[in-house]
Amino acid sequence: MYFNSFDFLIFLPIVFVAYWLFEKRKIRFQNVILLIASYVFYGWWDWRFLSLIGLSTLVDYFVGIRISLCDTDKLKKRWLLVSIFFNLGVLSFFKYCHFFIDSWVDLCNSIGYDIKDVTTLNIILPVGISFYTFQTMSYTIDVYRDKLKPTKDFISFAAFVSFFPQLVAGPIERATHLLPQFLKERKYSKESISYGIKLIIWGFFLKLVLADRTAIYVNSVYNNVEYHDGLSLIFATILFAFQIYGDFAGYSLIAIGTAKLFGFDLMTNFRRPYFSGSIHEFWNRWHISLSTWFRDYLYIPLGGNRVGRYRWFFNLFITFLISGLWHGAKWTFVIWGAINGIYLIIEILCNGKKRKGILNIISTFCFISFAWIFFRANSVNDAFYIINKIFTEPGKLYIGSGDDIAASLYAVLAIFLLVIIEFKREYLQNITIINFFTKKEIGRMFMYATLIYLILYLGVFGHSQFIYFQF
Amino acid sequence: MKRYITTFSKIMKFVIIVLIVDVIFGIVSNHLFFLQKTGKYARANLVIYETEAEVLIFGSSHAHRHYVPEVLEKQLNTTAYNAGAEGQQLLYHLALQKMVLKRKKPNLFILNIDEDFLYSSDIAYDRLNDLHPHYSEYGDDLRPIFKLKSEFVDVEMFFKSYLLNSTIVHILRYYISPQLDYKGYRPLNGTVTNDHITSKLMEVNDQVKEIDENFVLALKEFINNSKSNNVDLVFVISPTLRNINSNNKSLGMINEIADKEEVPILNFLDDKNFKDKLDWFHDPSHLNDTGAKYFTKLVSERIIKEKLNN
């Protein structure tokens, strides 16, 4: 089920009412409701993949208990490896099987071995598999590290694994943060509910107005790169930077807001990343739940920065390379990850981790946008073709005709609104511009009602889905 | 219990404010929408609410750019209006036809057929948005068509903001810089270049496309509406420089339906008059003004001939 669907608009109030009806009873009832709701939510796409989540839940639940019962580190480690092999095995099979086979065939062909017919399975990628496998792995790893006691409450654990607001595109929660929330009583708080609704509305604005409007121009250029000049490719790349932000930050806000309706706190996933003065700062503000996951479970175990200089750079690079691969089974994502790793290494060499000022913000945005070319391009060849054209054939800016122009104007308008709002949050937090809209309840309601109007008036209501669902 | 009631009353208060905002802004947007004098919405408004033309031309950009009403009027000694709309497909034409027939029964409908009319296309559904503003007036006619796109059409159309989604830029744009047309026809100037001829624009890939049953039903309904209202109907396939596959499934099926329903088809796909006449084309699939005038004249002559034969 998509957040931006009528199904969800009907589903959410039903679950909300059912959930709080059981507030006075045991929290177990609420967890059962969340579990059923989450399985319905996920099964709406393809019920067959529910078995995969169910299996993942069972494996990690029992592995967690087994680890806590082990006397020796060696045994603990064995059980941990069971979990890691299972989760990464499932992920590799569904997500990377084709990629590795195709890459192998390409490699053989390039060195002279002519391989034509390769039998591959017709594998469908289950939605959100990268997110929930990482989340459940964090559980077994934290149990192994004695950061968390394994739960014996299977329902709570299953609800934690499949919690529908963040099941398919994060934020990737740490078990130490989210699981305890399933084990304690959730208080009904109208402030929390009100805040959740605000986040949901702003999230929908980012998705339906900002991301989906910019997508129209971006897709028309990136899907026909041979027809466009450098200037159009630059403009499309800048728009894509905002598209992916609107799309993913929008999803995260809807997820966090929805969780708030049920009394849960999810971690912040984005903190105005395009106001970063350095690449280092950008990665502290962009997709925070994934960045910190890789930091805690890959970068630090590799030795982090407490090793020799070259080993430190290697650790950084490999972490970003794997992060790129996590995003998708395509070489474009791997290169995107590698570019970001190289950026960080260069930045360390130049002592530029803590830079501020408008010029640094602009240059960081340019570097990040350059890397987005690989993220968005349909192939590695396309990406290099785009870069070549940007630097050699600036040409004319494509503005399209009719509906294309309108879509671009709405996109620019939405970006303008986003920049104003984020600028205020970044630099003018304590300044109230118009009291009526912030201090008075009726004023706040009017403001959010206007935002809903803008969503319905300017949003795109088609067949779009969230970009990160494919990961 | 009290806090639930408090939350509920707050939510209701918020919903009421949302509705008030929607109605206030909606009235303003609606007023601006129907004030338009030029542009695609203004042309559709004119077709639906005003035109008294006896010949109406339906179709996509090929209809919009290929039929010169003045030529038709002169040749057929009648009145004509070009209701073609760029990028639109059968569902749109059917909806427009239904709304027109509520008010006026012309003598002749010309439906310009595109080679991909029956192939499945999400865009064909998405672009029905252009007719949303007419839902409050023609809900009964539009509902079955909009329902093909969304089950929740009545809920969606309840909001004025959704009805008028994305219209403001068009309104402002054509208010500032009016878009000229000649009874719905907008000429294209310039001629096709050799670059165009060798480019991807020449390719028509219909190997993997599937027929959408909704479009087939829409075509049949279009024919039935014409018959039941005693309006003559002619299908016309415009000339093109593109390489249309002779086994094109969509065209094949349209031919079958036309044969069965006895709707004349004027096929200019391989017409020798347009063979290699690059000067008459703006791009590989659209005629320029000179080509359009000649084409309209040929269509008129063929229509007269068809009528004489019957």
Provide DSSP, A28-75: HHHHHHHHHHHHHHHHTT-GGGHHHHHHHHHHHHHHHHHHHH-SSHHH
Regarding whether A114 and A201 lie in a shared domain, the answer is no
User: In the predicted model, is pLDDT for residue B1 greater than 80?
Assistant: no
Residue A163, token pair as written in the block: 């919690």
At which residue do the structure tokens 């059981």 appear?
A: A22
Q: Could you tell me if A246 and A363 lie in one domain?
A: yes
B160 contacts: CB under 8 Å, gap ≥ 6? B22, B23, B25, B26, B27, B29, B30
Which positions in chain A touch B164 (Cβ < 8 Å)? 457
- Residues of A designated as active site: 327
Query: Is A25 in the same domain as A160?
Result: yes
Tell me, what's the pLDDT at A306?
86
Residue A292 lies in a domain: no
Task: pLDDT band for B196, please (50, 70, 90 cuts).
Answer: low
Task: Please compute the mean of the pLDDT values over residues B75-86 and round it to a whole number.
Answer: 94
**Bridge partner residues of A225 (DSSP):** none
Asked if residue A129 is part of any domain, the answer here is: yes
The pLDDT assigned to A471 comes to 54
Contacts of A205 in chain B (CB under 8 A): none
Indicate whether A287 belongs to any domain: no
In this structure, the answer to whether residues A212 and A171 fall within a common structural domain is no
Please check whether residues A235 and A120 belong to one and the same domain: no
Question: Secondary structure of A109-176 in the HEC alphabet?
Answer: HHCCCCCCCCCCCCCCCCCCHHHHHHHHHHHHHHHHCCCCCCCCCHHHHHHHHHCHHHCCCCCCCCHH
B248 by DSSP, 3-state: which?
coil
Average pLDDT, chain B: 89
- Same-domain status, A198 and A167: no
Apex CA B85: angle with CA B184 and CA B101, to 5°?
A: 80
Q: What per-residue confidence (pLDDT) applies to A415?
A: 93
User: Are A31 and A171 contained in the same domain?
Assistant: yes
Residue A187 has a pLDDT of 84
At which of A167, A186, A205 does a domain end? A186
Specify the number of domains making up chain A. 2
Task: Answer yes or no: is A307 within a domain.
Answer: no
**Are A452 and B21 a contacting pair at CB < 8 A?**
yes
Domains of chain B, CATH where assigned: 37-151+179-309 (3.40.50.1110)
Contact between chains at B165 and A461 (C-beta distance less than 8 A)? yes
Residue-level pLDDT at A330: 87
Mind giving me the DSSP string for B123-153?
HHHHGGGGGGGGHHHHHHHHHHHHTTT-TTH
Residue A134 vs residues A17, A45, A320, A373, B34: alpha-carbon distances, Å = 31, 21, 16, 26, 53
How would residue B200 be classed by pLDDT, with cut points 50, 70 and 90?
A: low
From the candidates B1, B5, B9, B10, which should be mutated to test the interface with A, based on the most A CB atoms within 10 A? B10
Q: Alpha helices of chain B — where are they, by DSSP H? A: 2-35, 40-49, 61-66, 69-76, 90-103, 122-126, 135-146, 153-156, 160-163, 168-176, 194-198, 213-228, 249-261, 289-309
Task: List per-residue pLDDT tens for chain A, 471 residues long.
Answer: 888 788 888 899 999 988 988 776 678 889 999 999 999 999 988 888 888 899 999 999 999 999 988 888 889 999 999 999 999 998 888 877 777 777 777 777 777 776 666 666 566 767 788 888 999 999 999 999 989 899 999 999 999 999 999 988 879 999 999 999 999 888 888 889 889 999 999 999 999 999 988 988 898 889 888 888 889 999 999 999 999 999 999 999 999 999 999 999 999 999 999 999 999 999 999 999 999 999 999 999 999 888 888 999 999 999 999 999 888 888 999 999 999 999 999 999 887 666 778 899 999 999 999 999 999 999 999 999 999 999 988 888 887 766 667 778 888 888 999 999 889 888 887 666 555 556 678 888 888 899 898 898 888 876 555 555 555
**Separation CA B1–CA B5 (nearest Å):** 6
pLDDT at B78 over 90: yes
**Residue at A299 is within a domain:** no
Torsion sign (Cα): A42, A43, A46, A49: positive
Between chains, do A457 and B173 touch, taking CB under 8 Å as contact?
Answer: no
* A126: exposed, middle or buried (Cβ count in 10 Å: 0-12, 13-18, 19+): buried
**Residues A157, A211 within the same domain:** no
Same domain assignment for residues A384 and A420:
yes
Residue A186: CB atoms within 10 Å: 17
Inside any domain, residue A45: yes
H or E, element range at B233: strand B232-237
**What is the DSSP track for A193-258?**
HHHHHHHHHHHHIIIIIIIHHHHHHHHHHHTTGGG--HHHHHHHHHHHHHHHHHHHHHHHHHHHHH
**pLDDT for position B154:** 84
* The domain boundary residue, chosen from A132, A160, A186: A186
For chain A, first and last CA: distance in Å?
16
Identify the domain boundary among A186, A201, A220.
Answer: A186
Cβ pair A458:B164 closer than 8 A: no
User: Lowest-pLDDT range, A97-101, A296-300, B143-147, B227-231?
Assistant: A97-101
Kindly state the helix (H) or strand (E) to which residue B120 belongs, with its residue range: none
Tell me if A301 is assigned to some domain. Answer: no
Chain A neighbors of B155, CB-CB under 8 A:
6
Parent domain of A381 = 191-277+356-458
A40, A109: one domain: yes
Give the C-alpha separation, A329 to A95, whole Å: 7
Cis upstream peptide for A180 (omega within 30°): no
Per-residue pLDDT at B170 exceeds 70: yes
- Whether A344 maps to a domain, the answer reads no
Rounded to 5°, the CA angle B305-B308-B310 comes to 110
Q: Higher pLDDT residue, A344 or B201? A: A344
Name the residue among A75, A319, A206, A445 with its Cα closest to residue B11. Answer: A445
A201 and A85 in one domain? no
Q: Are A446 and B21 in contact (CB under 8 A)?
A: yes
pLDDT of residue A437: 54
Token pair belonging to A62: 């029992």
* A182 and A221 share one domain: no
DSSP state of A274: G
Lowest average pLDDT, out of A122-136, B71-85, B169-183, B276-290, goes to A122-136
CA distance readout (Å), A102 to A98, A127, A334: 6, 22, 15
Closest partner CB to B165 (pick from A6, A405, A456): A456
Residues 6+ apart with CB under 8 A from B8: none
